[in-house]
Amino acid sequence: MTTELLIRPRTLCFRSSLSTGAGLRVGVEGFWLRLGDGLGEVTLLPGFGTEPPERAHAALAEAASALRGSAPPGSPDEVADRIGKIAILRETPATRAGVELALLDAGARHAGVPLAIWLGAELRSVRVNALLTDDEVDALASEARARAQENFDTLKLKVGAQPAERDAARLAAVRAAVGPNTRIRVDGNGAWSEAEARTRLQAFAPARLEFVEQPVPATDFDGLRKLRSLARIAADESIGVPGARDGLFGGKRPAVDVLVFKLPVVGGVLRARRYATLAWQVGVEVVVTSALDGAVSRAGAAHLACTLPVEGPAHGLATGHLLESDAGGYAISHGLCHLPDGPGLGIDPEVLGW
């Protein structure tokens, strides 16, 4: 079977707006991709580590030309080789992630095995955290209690959109609602200076956080490193800035305790796996998370998570319920993301209207 890259613009709308440290979000722009039987997805987050739409358009056009008439890849190494020959994808991580995923899905489908197995791992269910979205203290506590009763052992909150004392009160309410054993993590989306982050982290200390994700701007690697004296620190958007590898891993010790991979920011499954190997060598944990994207990209992230240690932190892939429509999304129950045993990603292209 020969392939041609098919491209369809898409807008994912949230059921309700989401408050973050970087502002209010109501949806995400991007593209659905199809390459033969393989599915891909481009999620654009300008300002959060991805290219802007006009650059993605150019990259998709170049990728479509380069891949026209090619057969399904025979191995993940062959996928990496094809991606490496498309120069513009080196500078467009979201497009790279989407095109690469379409190739990986096509190759695994052609081999007749789930993508995780094609990558050399075992197919399994993946532990996931619940993202709490209510802003008001009482409603947030009720939401936290409900998610804990559904057997989520890790909860995540967005912080930074409200004053420090308000966020501290929200965290205190969540901790009181779920007790001492449930893990709680927060994401500041780079909203604070190092000085403000210190004040926030001190105020958050009674909640006993698992880690604090991106408390300072993406380029402030020194700030991330210094804040490790107050809490376990995770990098998200920092992974997508120039010089990230030196910034995160240079010096006497890493800048963070945890790397948080969003496929459109890190540049795809294969690049994430290389990053993860480097992280483990210096004692940094790895979490795979949604970019609040659609079912296809989250599926790729779930298969990536299967290649990571089982005993690692919960992954951030239970976000499909935030979308108005989530055709093809994997089932989430009892704090687990359940991967289908079909070939490739296991998503029928017809479900997405192809």
**Active-site residues: which are they?**
158, 262
Please name every residue paired with 260 in a beta bridge, in sequence order, or none if there are none: 287
Dist. CA 49–CA 266, nearest whole Å: 8
CA 120 to chain centre: 21
Residues 269/45/292/75 CA torsion (nearest 10 deg): -20
Q: Which residues of 229-252 are buried (b: 16+ CB within 10 A; e: fewer)?
A: ebbbbbbbbbbbbeebeebbbeee
List, in order, residues 6 or more apart from 127 with CB less than 8 Å away: 153, 154, 314, 315, 335, 336, 337
For residue 258, give Cα distances in angstroms to 58, 104, 266, 312.
Answer: 33, 26, 14, 10
List, in order, residues 6 or more apart from 137 with CB less than 8 Å away: 169, 170, 173
Burial label, 179 (beta-carbon count in 10 A; 0-12, 13-18, 19+) = exposed
Query: What is the number of alpha carbons within 13 Å of residue 118 lying toward its C-beta?
Result: 32
List, in order, residues 6 or more apart from 309 with CB less than 8 Å away: none
Q: Whole-angstrom distance between the N-terminal and C-terminal Cα of the chain?
A: 17
DSSP states of 96-112 as a string? HHHHHHHHHHHHHHHHT
List, in order, residues 6 or more apart from 192 with CB less than 8 Å away: 21, 160, 200, 215, 216
